[in-house]
Structure 1
Amino acid sequence: MKRSSRARTGAAVSVLALALITGCGGGSDGKDSSEGSDKGSDKASSPTTAAKAFSAAELEKLLLAQGEVKGYKVASGDDTLPKSKSDVKADKAACAPLAYAMAGLAPGETDANASNTVSKDPSADAASKAPEDLTEADIENAFDIDMTFVGLSSYQGDGAEKAVRAVSDGVAACSGGFGITAQGEQQKLTKVTAGKASGKGDESVAFSVDSAMDGAGTATFNTEVVRVGSTVTTYYTVNFVSAGAGKAAEIPAAVIDAQLAKLK
């Protein structure tokens, strides 16, 4: 990918992903909304009203930590993710839960929320070189990393189920796309499609969004929302090189599995 193409990709992703990542310039095909949700017969009937609701401080401790998922680096979301929902605006109310899920924020009504970033551990080859010794391939590979924004939110009563339902309903209501504003920047999402969920947890919903890329076509990004009892986990994965090549980065199953294991 040429440098100019990479810059355009980074600009689009920096708004869409709501991340200020050094070097960024400042999915699954859906069939219908039923495909985006997996509520196994036993899982859907499991009661959530008695499940423990966690505080924001408790959720921080339940986030994945460095060393807990092999082959990945874990970093605080303090510098890359929005602090609150006031930092993220969708131009359609029904689409707000989708925008929040993509930003590591609670898709439902709760103040108990925590988030971080989990990235594929890059090769150490380029990291060992002096800046003047870096090749174009080294620079390209530095962008070829899957980064997943992970969010945890917890709810009283049936709030977690309502949060997942809001996402599922939003996928159908926002299929024609919607606008999103983050950190003062606007981005047009041209399409939303239901994806094939992992089937993890008590229920899960997956969706993909297509984003306009400043005259350079569109890029597709994947999100999954998984509920475990009263806690909702969200995963949004970006890869600058994949996006520029017209391919959506898949959400790593290892990251989902490792995060859900901490909630059991």
Structure 2
Amino acid sequence: MTRRTERTARAVAVAALAAVVLAACGPDDPKRSTDARPSTSATAPAPATPVPGTSAPAAGNPGTQRSLTAAELDRAILATADVPGYTVGPMDPPPAQGETPAEEACAPLTSLLNGKPEPAAQASAYRQIAGANPESRPAVSVFLTAHGDQGAATVLNRLRAAVTACRDGFTTTGPTGPSTYRSVRALPPVKAGDDGLAYQLTADFEGDPVPLVFHVVRAGATVATFYTANLEGPKTPEVPVALITAQAAKLR
């Protein structure tokens, strides 16, 4: 087994969502994909605390100010025609079981690792994005979740608090066993939508760092999450800005 293949196989245990990325860009089957089926779940979102410096909700499409349905999210999520140079394909929602943190303060971070930000979404849609070159790395996952205005703001507020509280790392348990995350650090967010943040989690696997990067953007009552991972080295992977801005524009 090559070093590259070994790292990819071991990284399946990073998180439930990381396994989804591997399904689309693993070296053994770079074109593998499955039908996307938007999932739904109902919850009463917790009140949000306003974040200084955030902009007013988008004034364009009034639909972005309410919780979109699964069908509406399916139409609003990026498609291949929206992003020249990239191919958007289907992706299954993550399974119900996922990682649970030892520290409650880090739960917002593991909820995104599980592909299901909290407060729980009323509807969601998932896609996988690859460059024009099928061998390009890394692939990017995007998912839209509908929360209502207060719930969407709460998602980002909780994540901001968790990035600060868990900056020295944390541990989790999950279906594949325990996982360790060395650190959490904030990254410069892309200016898109009504609010946004970005951060890197660095997982630890037998002494090897596995960087995971998230960009989270709120557009009205919808949250767009972009995720990518570098399974082959310690360099911070990048989510192309064009993908983030195209998705935010499509939600306005």
Q: TM-score band, normalised by the shorter chain? A: 0.7 to 0.9
Tell me which moved more, 100-109 or 148-157.
Answer: 100-109
1:103 positional shift: 4.2
Relative contact order: is structure 1 or structure 2 higher (C-alpha 8 Å, sep ≥ 6)? Answer: 1
Q: Is the 8 A contact 2:119 2:154 kept in 1?
A: yes
May I ask how many residue pairs the two structures share in their alignment? 223
CA 1:203–1:119: 2 relative to 1, 3 Å: same
Q: Distance in 1 between matches of 2:57 and 2:90?
A: 35
CA 1:236–1:181: 2 relative to 1, 3 Å: farther
Aligned residue number for residue 18 of structure 1? 19
Q: Distance in 2 between matches of 1:43 and 1:65?
A: 27
CA 1:45–1:110: 2 relative to 1, 3 Å: closer
From 232, 239, 242, the equivalent of 1:251 is: 239
Aligned residue number for residue 120 of structure 2? 109
Deviations 1:112-157 (A, max 9, x none): 222111112216xxxxxxxxxxxxxxxxxx3x41211111111224
- Matched ranges for 1:50-199 at <5 A: 51-78=65-92, 81-84=93-96, 86-122=97-133, 142=135, 144-199=136-191
CA 1:254–1:64: 2 relative to 1, 3 Å: same
Tell me which moved more, 175-184 or 16-25.
Answer: 16-25
- In the superposition, the TM-score normalised over structure 1's length comes to 0.73
- In the superposition, the TM-score normalised over structure 2's length comes to 0.77
Name the structure with the higher helix share: 1
Q: Is the 8 A contact 1:104 1:152 kept in 2?
A: no
Provide the alpha-carbon RMSD of the alignment: 2.9
1:87 positional shift: 3.0
Aligned residue number for residue 138 of structure 1? none
1:189 positional shift: 0.8
Q: Is the 8 A contact 2:66 2:149 kept in 1?
A: no
Aligned residue number for residue 38 of structure 2? none
CA 1:248–1:6: 2 relative to 1, 3 Å: farther
CA 1:75–1:219: 2 relative to 1, 3 Å: same
From 221, 234, 246, the equivalent of 2:225 is: 234
Q: Which has the larger radius of gyration?
A: 1
Q: Distance in 2 between matches of 1:42 and 1:226?
A: 11
1:170 positional shift: 0.8
| 2:150 counterpart letter in structure 1 | D
Aligned residue number for residue 203 of structure 2? 211
| 1:18 counterpart letter in structure 2 | A
Q: Is the 8 A contact 1:73 1:120 kept in 2?
A: yes
Aligned residue number for residue 48 of structure 2? none
Q: Is the 8 A contact 1:40 1:203 kept in 2?
A: no
| 1:7 counterpart letter in structure 2 | E
Q: Distance in 2 between matches of 1:224 and 1:218?
A: 20
Q: Distance in 1 between matches of 2:248 and 2:173?
A: 30
Q: Distance in 1 between matches of 2:76 and 2:175?
A: 27
Deviations 1:21-54 (A, max 9, x none): 24479xxxxxxxxxxxxx7847158799x91211
Identity of aligned residues (%): 29
CA 1:256–1:157: 2 relative to 1, 3 Å: closer
CA 1:40–1:166: 2 relative to 1, 3 Å: closer
Q: Is the 8 A contact 1:104 1:115 kept in 2?
A: no
| 1:229 counterpart letter in structure 2 | G
Q: Is the 8 A contact 2:163 2:184 kept in 1?
A: yes
Q: Is the 8 A contact 2:182 2:202 kept in 1?
A: yes
1:229 positional shift: 0.8
Q: Is the 8 A contact 2:151 2:221 kept in 1?
A: yes
For structure 1, which runs of at least 5 residues remain unmatched after alignment?
Answer: 26-38, 124-141
SS in 2 for 1:74: strand
SS in 2 for 1:240: coil
